[in-house]
Amino acid sequence: MNPLPLVVPSSGPLYEGHFPGRPILPGVGLLDLALRALAAGGASPILREIVALRLRRLVAPGEHLELDVKAFDPDGRARLEVRRAAEIVANGVVVLGEPSPWAKPTAPHRPPRPPSGVPDLDDLLPHRPPMRLVEGIEAETDGGVVCSMRVPERSAFTERGSAPALIALEMAAQSAAVFEALLRFRGAEGGGARVGYLVGARDVRFARDRVPVGQTLFAAVRLSGNAPPLCTYDFDVAGSGGMVAAGTLSTWLTVTGA
């Protein structure tokens, strides 16, 4: 397959709230653009699994990118590479096709602690609506946090009352940002929102293809690797309809918030 052009919008809802004063294409936005390009070429537009994904470079509004499909197996597994001229922007292996509902086994754990003395979300996150998906902090756990989430009607991913389930990656990444901000707020560093980036994901399984707009979901993240500014989290996102997605993601936190 010849490289496919990826049309990165120069403006619009993908950048509203991500981030104010410094618009950057969200990592899930880049993944969504890649899936749409594949679907236009006849592939399934539905993401069943992310085997591994690395988001290596930031993407600004209006940039010209290309998607190269390095391999495409009959079972839907595809090895992808996004380039900006000769520079690799992102690469990974995904599996396309209808997901199968499943329940994630729940490991024994301590009862969660209800949050107390929590700052306003504006003081914890650099995101602003409609890109901010966090509605509130439900609980703090040992090494993690649980946040309530909602896809707003004005979301860039909303289409006919729902959004693709890959939005769960952004929900988990924003929950990780909340966790890190709470640590700073209660530690010696002091509070203050900092810009962070989703830089990787692996072993992510999706239990459905879309989630309804306005439905409350819960994103739970647990720190599994810490080598600042890089952190790794195990996550799951679920709601009243069951699991949406679960897996592992990595984030990169800026030093100054810019």
**Could you read off the pLDDT of 178-197 as tens digits, one per residue?**
999 999 888 866 667 899 99
Full-prediction pTM beyond 0.75? yes
- 37 within 8 A of 6, measured Cβ to Cβ: yes
What distance in Å separates the CA atoms of residue 32 and residue 76, rounded to the nearest whole number? 16
* Residue 115: predicted pLDDT: 78
Please give the angle made by the CA atoms of 13, 127 and 199, to the nearest 5 degrees: 90
Residues 6+ apart with CB under 8 A from 210: 162, 163, 164, 165
Tell me how far the alpha carbon of residue 27 is from its chain's centroid: 7
DSSP string, 229-253: TEEEEEEEEEETTEEEEEEEEEEEE
Check the CA dihedral 196-226-230-256 and report its sign. positive
Q: Average pLDDT, whole number, for the chain?
A: 92
